[in-house]
């Protein structure tokens, strides 16, 4: 049989004075092995020295001060639950009032959605009206810009010739491209700042 020395956690069990099923063979080994006995005695001296130190009570806010410097990552559902519990009123009457208000809002939104679902023609009319007004405003705006830049005859030719829609589309695409580039650049700068 191969001779092995006690592991650090086994020596810890002996120093702590634990009594259990597996401690008796450890004590027997300790009686036979000089090296393990020396490590056990050294660790026991350290443990007794630590126990002999005076016990101080930490300051009142010591744990709060330490935990303020510790970054704790909470799962999203825990953060959401804690936020919701902080927003909930503490008194029963206010909870009932908040629940009634939330229920009223939910019923109003659901009723409006159901009404719009059964009145698809109305919803379609509103969307078409919005699209037409937006297109008309953009064409008028492009026409005014073209009139200022090209004169009245050039603007009339540009807008009436179908090029107005093309110009609006190009302007919208250019604005979207510029917005995307600026947004990605800002995102990259923020990411670099967080890494650094």
For residue range 34-77, list pLDDT tens digits in order.
Answer: 999 999 999 999 988 988 888 888 888 888 888 888 887 888 88
Q: How confident is the model at residue 122 (pLDDT cuts 50, 70, 90)?
A: confident
Highest mean pLDDT: which range of 7-11, 146-150, 189-193: 7-11
Q: Which residue has the tokens 């799962």?
A: 75
Percent of the chain with pLDDT over 90: 6
Q: How many residues does the chain have?
A: 196
**Which ranges of 33-162 would DSSP assign to H, the alpha helix?**
34-52, 62-68, 76-87, 92-118, 120-150, 152-160
Q: Which two tokens stand for residue 6?
A: 């006690």
Q: Which residue has the tokens 């009404």?
A: 115
Note whether 64 and 72 are within 8 A (CB): no
Q: What is the pLDDT of residue 136?
A: 85
Structural domains of the chain sorted by starting position, each given as residue range(s) with its CATH number in brackets = 1-70 (1.10.10), 94-195 (no CATH)
Average pLDDT over residues 186-195: 81
Q: What is the pLDDT of residue 42?
A: 92
For the chain, report the end-to-end CA distance as a whole number of angstroms.
56
Separation of alpha carbons 94 and 88, rounded Å: 9
Q: What is the pLDDT of residue 9?
A: 85
Q: Which residue has the tokens 């090296």?
A: 35
- pTM over 0.75, yes/no: no
pLDDT in tens, 172-187: 778 888 888 888 888 8
């Amino acid at each position: 049989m191969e001779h092995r020395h006690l592991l650090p956690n086994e020596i810890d069990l002996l120093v702590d004075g634990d009594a259990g099923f597996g401690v008796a063979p450890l004590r027997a080994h300790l009686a036979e092995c000089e090296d393990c006995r020396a490590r056990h005695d050294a660790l026991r001296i350290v443990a007794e020295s630590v126990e002999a130190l005076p016990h101080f009570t930490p300051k009142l806010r010591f744990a709060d001060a330490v935990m303020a410097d510790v970054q704790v990552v909470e799962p999203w559902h825990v953060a959401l639950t804690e936020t919701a519990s902080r927003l909930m009123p503490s008194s029963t009457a206010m909870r009932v009032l908040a629940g009634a208000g939330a229920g009223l809002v939910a019923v109003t939104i659901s009723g409006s959605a159901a009404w719009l679902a059964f009145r698809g023609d109305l919803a379609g009319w509103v969307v078409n009206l919005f699209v037409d007004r937006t297109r008309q405003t953009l064409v008028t705006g492009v026409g005014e810009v073209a009139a200022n830049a090209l004169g009245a005859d050039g603007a009339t030719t540009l807008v009436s010739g179908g090029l107005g829609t093309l110009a609006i589309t190009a302007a919208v695409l250019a604005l979207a491209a510029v917005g995307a580039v600026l947004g990605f650049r800002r995102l990259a700068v923020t990411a670099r700042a967080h890494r650094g």
